[in-house]
Amino acid sequence: MWKMIKPHGGNLWLWQVSLLLALLGFWHVMTVPGLIPPMMFDNDSQAAFFFGEPLKVAERIWAWFVTDADIYQHLGVTLAETMMAFAVGAGLGLGGGLWLALAPMASAILEPYIKAMNAMPRIILAPIFSVWFGLGMGSKVALGVTLVFFIVFFNVYQGVKEVSPVVLANARMLGADRQQLLRHVYLPSATSWVFSSLHTSVGLAFVGAVVGEYLGSSQGVGYLILQAEGSFDINTVMAGIVLLTAFALVLDSAVGKAEKYLMKWQPKSGETEKL
């Protein structure tokens, strides 16, 4: 009996959905007035004021997509900003990481400056980008690029640096030129590092877009959340968070599918254990 309910590949999704339902049920019980005695709050309505109610959050999302159907323009703007920031930041990070990893002199010269820029709290650049690029999509994309770039850059740089010297020596001995080394040795070595950084960068791309919308915008999901915060509408705030989280998971899933396709050569964990 235990083997049937124990988590495994066949029923793992059931455990995940059950955990989600349990969390939603706990949230509902804690915030609906009258279901439990008040503990942390003076009355049983304060919990709903601070944390929202899952049913009202669901109603808000339903109204956005179906009843009022007024979310599509805002969502499209935020997703466009996120995708552009993700693509540009990842591309620059990949190219910059490869270049510096394969150019020791340039790496030695630029290393302190790159570390200084990485140590800077890049969120503080948002007002500067608003001045440089205006309140349109450009400033949000620029902020997202700065958040994504360094994550991808350092992972690619480290992945290339950790190529085995023995593998390099063998490839050179077989007559591989610089382009062949890049294609058959350096890139495969860095691929797992690249996808690890891309999974992390998905959320940061959304952060750049939403923070930029907070500081100055007339559209976008971040703008809707800011307006809801100004009127203490916690249910709309939570609905915006749920919406952004859902689309971040969709983008992360797309990255995961690309990872499986491009890394078919890599043995799975079960296959590695058998070997």
Say which residue, 10 or 218, is predicted with more confidence: 218
- CB 166, CB 106: distance < 8 Å: no
251 in any annotated domain: yes
CB burial class (10 A; 0-12, 13-18, 19+) of residue 178?
exposed
- Say yes or no: 14 and 85 in one domain: no
120 in any annotated domain: yes
pLDDT digits (tens, 9 = 90+) for 164-183: 677 777 777 777 777 777 77
207 vs 222: CA distance, rounded Å = 9
- Tell me the one-letter amino acid at 189: S
Please give the pLDDT value at position 166.
73
- Say yes or no: 90 and 181 in one domain: yes
pLDDT at residue 269 greater than cutoff 70: no
- Say yes or no: 75 and 195 in one domain: yes
Which residue spans within the chain are E strands per DSSP?
Answer: none
* Average pLDDT estimate for 236-253: 89
pLDDT at residue 206 greater than cutoff 70: yes
What is the tally of structural domains in the chain?
A: 2
Please give the pLDDT value at position 88.
93
- Say yes or no: 46 and 70 in one domain: no
pLDDT digits (tens, 9 = 90+) for 28-70: 777 776 655 555 555 555 666 677 788 888 888 898 888 888 8
- Say yes or no: 169 and 204 in one domain: yes
- CB 198, CB 210: distance < 8 Å: no
257 vs 250: CA distance, rounded Å = 11
Report percent pLDDT > 70 for the chain: 83
* Average pLDDT estimate for 221-232: 85
pLDDT at residue 7 greater than cutoff 70: no
- Say yes or no: 42 and 80 in one domain: no
CATH code at 162? 1.10.3720.10
- Say yes or no: 93 and 126 in one domain: yes
91 in any annotated domain: yes
- Say yes or no: 27 and 75 in one domain: no
Range of the domain at 44: 2-51
Tokens of 246: 């859902």
pLDDT at residue 188 greater than cutoff 70: yes
60 in any annotated domain: no
- Say yes or no: 109 and 150 in one domain: yes
- Say yes or no: 192 and 92 in one domain: yes
Q: What's the whole-number average pLDDT of the chain?
A: 80
Please give the pLDDT value at position 267.
55
pLDDT at residue 132 greater than cutoff 90: no
- Say yes or no: 71 and 154 in one domain: yes
**DSSP notation for 113-181:** HHHHHHHS-GGGGHHHHHHHH-SSHHHHHHHHHHHHHHHHHHHHHHHHHTS-HHHHHHHHHTT--HHHH
Please give the pLDDT value at position 275.
46
Please give the pLDDT value at position 28.
78
49 vs 237: CA distance, rounded Å = 12
Please give the pLDDT value at position 273.
45
126 in any annotated domain: yes
CB burial class (10 A; 0-12, 13-18, 19+) of residue 200?
middle
pLDDT digits (tens, 9 = 90+) for 228-240: 888 888 888 889 8
- Say yes or no: 34 and 73 in one domain: no
56 in any annotated domain: no
